[in-house]
Amino acid sequence: GWIVGPKLVGIVFSEQSKIGSRLTKLSGMLTRDTKTLVLVTLLSVAFHLLQMWLHWMIAQALGAPIPFVYILTTVPFINILGSLPISWNGVGVREAGYIFFFAQQHPFFTQEQAIAMGAMWLLAITVTSAVGGTIAMLSKDFSFSILKAPAYQN
C-alpha cells in the first residue's frame, strides 16, 4: 500500500480531477523511505501477533483449547467488526463476533465463554489505555496538543 498506492493513484485518477489532486497531495505526505516502511511494518506485525497471542492466552484461561492458527484467522475480522462505529468501543459487536466464530462456527466456546472473552479483552484494552493516558497526563508534556492540521482547502 505505502509503496504501490501513490503510483496507483497516478494511474487510476488524473491529477486534474478533484479526487486525483487530493489523493496525490495526500500521497505526497507518505514516507518513501524503504527502511522506515519495513521497520514500521515489522513493528505492526509484532504488535498484531502479540494481540493474537493474548487472545489465545485468554482462551486458554477460559478452558477453551483454540488452535492459534484459528485465532490468527478470525480475530482480525472480530477486530474489524468491533471498530465499526455502531457501538461504544465495540461492546456487543465484538462479543457477537466471538460467539459467531468461537461458539457457532466451531464449538470451541460456549456462548457464555465467548462473552467472557469479549469482556476480558475489553478490560485489557481499557486498562492499558488508562495506563497510557495516565502516563501522558502525569508527564505534563502536552506539546502534541499545539499541533494543528493544515486547513483543508476545497
pLDDT of the residue at 151: 53
Taking the complete model, does pTM exceed 0.75, yes or no? no
| Domains in the chain: boundaries | 1-32, 44-142
CB burial of residue 133 (10 Å; 0-12, 13-18, 19+): exposed
Q: What is the DSSP string of 103-140?
A: IIISTTS-HHHHHHHHHHHHHHHHHHHHHHHHHHHHHT
pLDDT > 90: what percent of the chain?
A: 44
What is the Cβ-side half-sphere exposure of residue 47, based on CA atoms within 13 angstroms? 6
- Taking only the tens place, the pLDDT of each residue in 6-62 is 677 777 777 777 877 777 777 776 667 778 888 988 999 999 999 999 999 999 999
pLDDT of the residue at 77: 94
- Taking only the tens place, the pLDDT of each residue in 72-119 is 999 999 999 988 888 888 888 999 999 999 998 888 889 999 999 999
